[in-house]
């Protein structure tokens, strides 16, 4: 398994939880809400939740902020812009944009695990303009073309 060292800094709260793997096989590190008091997300509402830290993701990597499946399945709460991207040159506070798709209000508690962070390699693209694209068996079929 490959690992990469990434600088991380707690911001205003020295007790803010840093991202953490909660099982040996986890791909994502849980992100916790760095809030002083509970806050409520009403059905259909979205809120930007601070995590209390900033990171310096190295060139060639990105951070992907993804939903936690338990919050989504039990409460209908998910990451609105999933996956959110933390670019390698961003140095601001990591925040999670949560939305409540559920039928009842959802309370975010201080320190609650609200999302997960996956750090992944990024490939830079150089476009090669052509007149005609190579043929594929699928062609231009999309949006349900494969039957699912």
Q: Sketch out the chain's domains with CATH numbers.
A: 28-121 (2.70.40.10)
pLDDT tens by residue, 3-18: 899 999 999 898 899 9
How far the first Cα of the chain sits from its last, in Å, is 34
Q: What pLDDT, on a 0 to 100 scale, did the predictor assign at position 143? A: 73
pLDDT tens by residue, 23-81: 999 999 999 999 999 999 999 999 999 999 999 999 999 999 999 999 999 999 999 99
What does the pLDDT average to over 86-110? 98
Q: What pLDDT, on a 0 to 100 scale, did the predictor assign at position 139? A: 82
pLDDT for 142 beyond 80: no
pLDDT for 82 beyond 80: yes
* 95 pLDDT tier (thresholds 50, 70, 90): very high
Instruction: Give, as one character, the DSSP assignment of residue 127.
Output: -
pLDDT for 110 beyond 90: yes
Q: Whole-angstrom Cα distance, residue 135 to residue 59?
A: 34
Q: What pLDDT, on a 0 to 100 scale, did the predictor assign at position 148? A: 59
> What is the percent of the chain where pLDDT is above 90?
86
* 146 pLDDT tier (thresholds 50, 70, 90): low
Q: What pLDDT, on a 0 to 100 scale, did the predictor assign at position 11? A: 97
């Amino acid at each position: 398994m490959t690992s990469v060292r990434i600088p991380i800094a707690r911001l205003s709260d020295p007790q803010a939880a840093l991202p953490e793997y909660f099982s040996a096989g986890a791909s994502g590190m849980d992100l916790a809400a760095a809030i002083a008091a509970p806050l409520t997300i009403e059905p259909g509402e979205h809120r930007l939740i601070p995590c209390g830290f900033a990171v310096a993701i190295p060139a060639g990597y990105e951070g992907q902020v993804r939903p936690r499946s338990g919050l989504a399945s039990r409460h209908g709460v998910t990451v609105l812009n999933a996956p959110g991207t933390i670019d390698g040159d961003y140095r601001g506070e990591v925040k999670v944009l949560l939305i409540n798709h559920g039928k009842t209000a959802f309370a975010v508690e201080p320190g609650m695990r609200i999302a997960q962070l996956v750090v992944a390699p990024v490939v830079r693209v150089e476009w090669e303009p052509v007149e005609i694209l190579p043929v594929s068996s699928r062609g231009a079929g999309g949006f349900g073309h494969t039957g699912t």
